[in-house]
Protein backbone atom coordinates (compact mmCIF):
# COMPACT_ATOMS: atom_id res chain seq x y z
CA UNK A 1 0.00 0.00 0.00
CA UNK A 2 1.19 3.48 -0.82
CA UNK A 3 0.81 6.36 1.61
CA UNK A 4 1.51 10.07 1.21
CA UNK A 5 2.81 11.39 4.53
CA UNK A 6 3.46 14.98 5.56
CA UNK A 7 5.75 15.36 8.55
CA UNK A 8 6.18 18.71 10.31
CA UNK A 9 9.02 18.74 12.83
CA UNK A 10 8.77 20.99 15.89
CA UNK A 11 11.84 20.52 18.08
CA UNK A 12 11.43 22.49 21.33
CA UNK A 13 13.71 25.52 21.56
CA UNK A 14 14.77 24.52 25.06
CA UNK A 15 16.02 21.05 24.01
CA UNK A 16 19.79 21.03 24.51
CA UNK A 17 21.58 21.28 21.15
CA UNK A 18 23.70 18.16 21.77
CA UNK A 19 20.55 16.12 22.47
CA UNK A 20 18.81 17.51 19.38
CA UNK A 21 21.87 16.70 17.23
CA UNK A 22 21.95 13.12 18.53
CA UNK A 23 18.23 12.59 17.80
CA UNK A 24 18.60 14.08 14.31
CA UNK A 25 21.57 11.77 13.59
CA UNK A 26 19.53 8.71 14.66
CA UNK A 27 16.64 9.94 12.51
CA UNK A 28 18.89 10.17 9.46
CA UNK A 29 20.26 6.65 9.98
CA UNK A 30 16.75 5.20 10.46
CA UNK A 31 15.36 6.98 7.38
CA UNK A 32 18.30 5.80 5.26
CA UNK A 33 17.65 2.19 6.32
CA UNK A 34 13.97 2.54 5.36
CA UNK A 35 14.85 4.13 2.01
CA UNK A 36 17.31 1.34 1.22
CA UNK A 37 14.61 -1.24 2.03
CA UNK A 38 12.24 0.63 -0.36
CA UNK A 39 9.66 1.08 2.42
CA UNK A 40 10.32 4.86 2.30
CA UNK A 41 10.14 5.35 -1.47
CA UNK A 42 10.41 9.14 -1.74
CA UNK A 43 11.17 12.09 0.52
CA UNK A 44 10.99 15.79 -0.41
CA UNK A 45 11.85 18.77 1.76
CA UNK A 46 9.21 21.51 1.85
CA UNK A 47 10.97 24.79 1.05
CA UNK A 48 11.16 27.18 3.99
CA UNK A 49 9.82 24.68 6.53
CA UNK A 50 11.22 21.95 8.75
CA UNK A 51 8.86 19.50 7.05
CA UNK A 52 8.72 16.91 4.32
CA UNK A 53 6.39 15.07 2.00
CA UNK A 54 7.13 11.36 1.75
CA UNK A 55 5.78 8.29 -0.01
CA UNK A 56 5.80 5.01 1.90
CA UNK A 57 5.25 1.59 0.35
CA UNK A 58 4.21 -0.76 3.15
CA UNK A 59 2.04 -3.81 3.71
CA UNK A 60 -0.71 -2.07 5.68
CA UNK A 61 -1.70 0.67 8.14
CA UNK A 62 -0.10 -1.19 11.02
CA UNK A 63 3.30 -1.36 9.35
CA UNK A 64 3.16 2.34 8.51
CA UNK A 65 2.24 3.17 12.11
CA UNK A 66 5.15 1.08 13.42
CA UNK A 67 7.58 2.80 11.04
CA UNK A 68 6.37 6.31 11.84
CA UNK A 69 6.21 5.77 15.60
CA UNK A 70 9.77 4.39 15.42
CA UNK A 71 11.12 7.68 14.06
CA UNK A 72 13.46 9.22 16.66
CA UNK A 73 11.82 12.63 16.00
CA UNK A 74 8.29 11.17 16.24
CA UNK A 75 7.45 12.90 19.54
CA UNK A 76 8.34 16.25 17.92
CA UNK A 77 6.24 15.73 14.77
CA UNK A 78 2.80 16.52 13.50
CA UNK A 79 2.04 13.83 10.91
CA UNK A 80 -0.71 13.69 8.30
CA UNK A 81 -1.26 10.43 6.39
CA UNK A 82 -3.18 9.95 3.15
CA UNK A 83 -3.64 6.48 1.59
CA UNK A 84 -2.99 6.41 -2.17
CA UNK A 85 -4.52 4.32 -4.95
CA UNK A 86 -3.39 3.97 -8.52
CA UNK A 87 -5.35 6.33 -10.77
CA UNK A 88 -7.21 4.60 -13.61
CA UNK A 89 -5.76 7.10 -16.12
CA UNK A 90 -2.14 6.52 -15.08
CA UNK A 91 0.02 5.29 -17.97
CA UNK A 92 3.16 4.31 -16.03
CA UNK A 93 3.35 0.75 -14.83
CA UNK A 94 6.38 1.24 -12.55
CA UNK A 95 4.77 3.51 -9.97
CA UNK A 96 2.63 1.02 -8.06
Q: Which residues contact 53 (CB under 8 A, 6 or more apart)?
A: 4, 5, 6, 42, 43, 44, 46
Q: Sign of torsion, CA 53 57 60 63?
A: negative
Q: Work out how many domains the chain is built from and give that number.
A: 1
Report pLDDT digits (tens) over 27-82: 999 999 999 999 999 999 999 999 999 999 999 999 999 999 999 999 999 999 99
Give the integer Cα–Cα distance in Å for 83 and 55. 10
In-domain check, residue 36: yes
Q: Which structural domain, as residue segments, surrounds residue 53? A: 2-84
Kindly report the CATH number assigned to the domain that includes residue 22: 3.30.70.1060
In-domain check, residue 73: yes
In-domain check, residue 91: no
User: pTM of this prediction?
Assistant: 0.90
Amino acid sequence: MLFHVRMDVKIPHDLPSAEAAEIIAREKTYSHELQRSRKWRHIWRIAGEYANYSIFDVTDNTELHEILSGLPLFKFMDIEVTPLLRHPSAIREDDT
